[in-house]
A and B are shown apart, each in its own frame.
Chain A
Amino acid sequence: MSNESKVKIALSVNGEPAEVAFAPHKTLLEVLREDLGLTGTKHGCELGECGTCTVLLDGTAVLSCLVLGVACEGRAVRTVEGMAQNGQLHPLQETFADLGAAQCGYCTPAFLLVAEALLAANPHPTRDEIKHALAGNLCRCTGYIKIYEAVELAAARMRGEVAQPTRESLYGR
């Protein structure tokens, strides 16, 4: 977009201060992916109908496809790239990877961030509360079961419990 004037904003991205210049009509999704090189945030519909582009804005889960980049001046954005700390996976990342909650993986960053926001507000969610919290994110691979199990196990570990996943599946003959 060379023929267009850009705006420049300062914001915090994954805990680090950042300055970024972009065309003023760009969404946060586009700014993250195209101007900050953070492609962990995915796009699925760009209309707010799938949840795939979820990020945390000042700790709140929002659809980055419907937030303007310019509206993020001075705000804190958290993407999937910011979840692991010092090379250590976030408990949710661990359980999503281990329990089969990520299959094709395309919706995974969004689910992780929604789950993170949920656990920050409610460290001990019931299965039903998890379902309601995740109701804005579509997954076509898992049937959601393994995602619930991953959130529940991560929640237990984050509470300091030694926990095993609650199994929906039976293994038998």
Chain B
Amino acid sequence: MLRLPTFRYLQPRSLREALAMKADAGPDGMFVAGGTDLYPNMKRRHQEPRVVISLMGIEELRRLDGWNVGTCVTLSALSSLPTFQRSQSAVAGAAQLVSTPLLRNMGTLGGNLCLDTRCNYYNQSYEWRKSIDFCMKKDGAICWVAPSSPRCWAVSSSDVAPVMVAIGAEYRLVGPQGERLVPAGRFYHNDGINYLTKQPDEILVDVRLPAPNGWDAVYHKLRRRGSFDFPVLGVAAWIQWNGKKVGEARIVLGGVASYPQEVAAAGAALEGAPLSDEAIAAAADAAYQPSKPMDNTDFDLSWRKQMTRVYVKRALEELRARH
């Protein structure tokens, strides 16, 4: 059996207590929620915190208050709420598409939003990584995906994050310096190592979803099987309708970069006109251009790039069909 390394496990009851514990632990401390991302990574020695601080006992993080969702709400709970299925269907739907029912019973919204980036050269056993002299994301010096690159190209593999960026959700963070609200789009960095703008000692407390107000969004996921697999491409599409016309639109791609990648040109291609076949094709094309998957996930990268066009088109057609 693969086992966890030794560590201290702390179970704070309040945010303040959690922050104090993290301050005590310093860089050796990490927060954990459902554990479905961190514990496998710890078992494979991708992350080696000496102190693990569980957020699951903090009431505030499990709260659901209108469209404000605590980050320790499980993905199962999020996807099965009738109000969310009705009025936040992209969020509920993306949560429903994460991994498996078992994992969703444990995994949390916050965990998925902060999911570690993934790569074929990183998500390997310790021995495997050692045999290639590791990579820059952990224990090594270079990026095997792009050996001349100064940065890590591990892939953002969250299903829910692209939706949050697309719908313009806001994240509330609490840290030693106090509280701040960050738009989802500014929470992520296109860097496989420093993929979050969150400071390690900050806690993602809740997510503020925009109230339903004439907008609609969908999420489409590409993977090999009907369950388990991370997205090799995710497309979140959001439209603020203005009658029959598109007022504003955002297209966000998951699984192609180290962050949920908004393609502004794709959204712009849709604005101010009805969602015609031509407009959809233009947006799909605009999304296709900057979609530059690297050869570090399942499937061939050129196929994954081609799929961007197909999936953007499908997402927009679905939005059109139900408008």
A interface residues (Cβ-Cβ under 8 A, vs B): 4, 23-27, 29-30, 43, 45-49, 51, 54, 60-63, 65-68, 70-71, 114, 132-133, 135-137
Contacts and interface: CB of A to CB of B under 8 A. Distances in A.
B101 A132 contact: yes
Nearest to A121: B80
A30 B228 CA distance: 23
Interface stretch (B3-11, B62-70, B178-186, B210-218): B3-11
A21 to B, nearest CB: 15
Taking residues whose C-beta sits less than 8 angstroms from the other chain, chain B's interface range is: 20 to 34
A61 B105 contact: yes
Given A48-B36, A66-B39, A71-B54, A61 B102 contact: yes
A48 B103 contact: yes
A136 B36 CA distance: 13
A66 B106 contact: yes
B9 A137 contact: no
A127 B210 CA distance: 36
Nearest to B42: A25
A54 B102 contact: yes
The dominant DSSP class at the B interface is loop
A70 B9 contact: yes
Contacts of B40: 46-48, 66
B103 A136 contact: yes
B101 A136 contact: yes
17 contacts: A25-B9, A26-B4, A30-B1, A46-B2, A46-B43, A48-B39, A48-B103, A51-B100, A54-B102, A62-B106, A66-B35, A66-B36, A66-B106, A67-B106, A135-B227, A137-B100, A137-B102
B99 interface: yes
A46 B44 CA distance: 10
B102 A63 contact: yes
Contacts of A26: 3-4
Contact of A24 (B3, B9, B99): B9
B41 to A, nearest CB: 9
A30 B1 CA distance: 9
Contacts of B2: 45-47
Contacts of B227: 135-136
Contacts of A70: 9, 11
Given A25-B7, A49-B228, A62 B1 contact: no
Contacts of A135: 100-101, 226-228
B165 interface: no
A98 to B, nearest CB: 26
Interface string B178-207: 000000000000000000000000000000
Contacts of A114: 101-102
A62 B9 contact: no
Interface in B92-117: 99-103, 105-106
Nearest to A73: B11
B56 interface: yes
Given A25-B4, A46-B2, A46-B43, A136 B102 contact: yes
Given A30-B1, A63-B103, A66-B36, 15 more contacts: A25-B9, A26-B4, A27-B4, A46-B3, A48-B102, A60-B105, A61-B101, A61-B105, A66-B39, A68-B9, A70-B9, A71-B11, A136-B99, A136-B228, A137-B102
A132 B43 CA distance: 28
Contacts of B228: 49, 135-136
Contacts of B43: 46-47
Return the 7 tightest CB-CB contacts between A and B, nearest first.
A136-B100, A135-B227, A46-B2, A136-B102, A47-B40, A25-B4, A66-B39
Contacts of A43: 1
A75 to B, nearest CB: 11
Contacts of B36: 48, 63, 66
B102 A51 contact: yes
Question: Which among B1, B6, B100, B226 has the greatest number of chain A C-beta atoms within 10 A?
Answer: B100
A154 B79 CA distance: 27
Contacts of B100: 51, 135-137
B312 to A, nearest CB: 26
Interface in B34-72: 34-36, 39-40, 43-44, 54, 56
A11 B35 CA distance: 20
